[in-house]
Chains A and B, each alone.
Chain A
């Protein structure tokens, strides 16, 4: 089954998890995502990097309450790609 809306980059389990969490909220902190995914910093960074390079995720580093925190959010392209991907999965299942 080959489809244009199917997104292999998003479909990888951890990246699908990241996109699903980000689509349900505005911005999430890196630490919160790492705890939810139960992965190491480096593994999450790698996934975020590939999503960022595709233009799907925006990374912002800001000082908050005296701490430097990394915030992640879906870009409009990322949100669109994720929505299309989920639509495609639903279409496959029927």
Chain B
């Protein structure tokens, strides 16, 4: 760098490559262990399934509560261990892109949960409320939505553990 405010394109390229590397390393160091990611994602899948099939006549409501409480406890455990290691993640992302990213995730999960529930329960002629519009009667809906939620939670927790949108190499 010849001047404080002047850099060449090659220097800019090198700085960007270095930032990508730092982004990848930071995400790796902040990422929860794989067993914890697996547990959280499986429990989220169980919660989704339970939410879709819970009725007065079965005990899936209990499964929903148990899996929901377990997810909260595991997230608290993750945050506690991160704090011991010297990382304090905010409840909400600090950046605008992080907030948009989180809002999109919330919307996605709300839609998946709603569709899973409606397609399972409201679609059945015997449980449909009079005048209610049936979305569908898809027996596989709880399984499909549970797998979608489980896989997406695992992917997002692995790639974006801090909920911040961080530029990462495709190879990582």
Taking Cβ atoms with an 8 Å cutoff, the residues of A that contact B are 1-3, 6, 8, 11, 13, 16-17, 20-21, 23-29, 31-32, 36, 64-65, 69, 71, 73-74, 76, 79, 83, 86, 89-90, 92-94
Assess whether B6 is in contact with A1, with CB atoms less than 8 Å apart: yes
Q: Which residues of B contact A27 (CB under 8 A)?
A: 87-88, 90
The tally of residues in B whose CB lies under 8 Å from a CB in A reads: 33
Assess whether A6 is in contact with B7, with CB atoms less than 8 Å apart: yes
Assess whether B4 is in contact with A25, with CB atoms less than 8 Å apart: no
Question: Which of B13, B18, B29 contacts A16, CB < 8 Å?
Answer: B18
Taking Cβ atoms with an 8 Å cutoff, the residues of B that contact A are 1, 4-9, 12-13, 15-16, 18-19, 22-23, 25-27, 29-30, 83-90, 94-95, 162, 164, 166
* Residue in B closest to A34 when the chains form the complex, CB atoms: B86
Q: Which residues of A contact B5 (CB under 8 A)?
A: 2-3, 6, 8
* Residue in A closest to B3 when the chains form the complex, CB atoms: A2
Assess whether B164 is in contact with A32, with CB atoms less than 8 Å apart: no
Q: Which of A26, A71, A89, A94 has the most CB of B within 10 A?
A: A26
Assess whether B15 is in contact with A89, with CB atoms less than 8 Å apart: yes
Apart from A27-B87, A65-B84, A89-B15, what are 16 other A-B pairs with CB-CB below 8 Å?
A: A1-B6, A1-B7, A16-B22, A17-B22, A20-B26, A21-B26, A23-B164, A23-B166, A32-B86, A32-B87, A71-B88, A73-B94, A76-B94, A79-B95, A92-B9, A93-B13
Assess whether A31 is in contact with B16, with CB atoms less than 8 Å apart: no
Q: Which of B1, B4, B18, B19 has the most CB of A within 10 A?
A: B19
Assess whether A21 is in contact with B22, with CB atoms less than 8 Å apart: yes
Given that A1-B6, A17-B22 are known contacts, is A26 also in contact with B29, CB under 8 Å in the complex? no
* Residue in B closest to A64 when the chains form the complex, CB atoms: B83
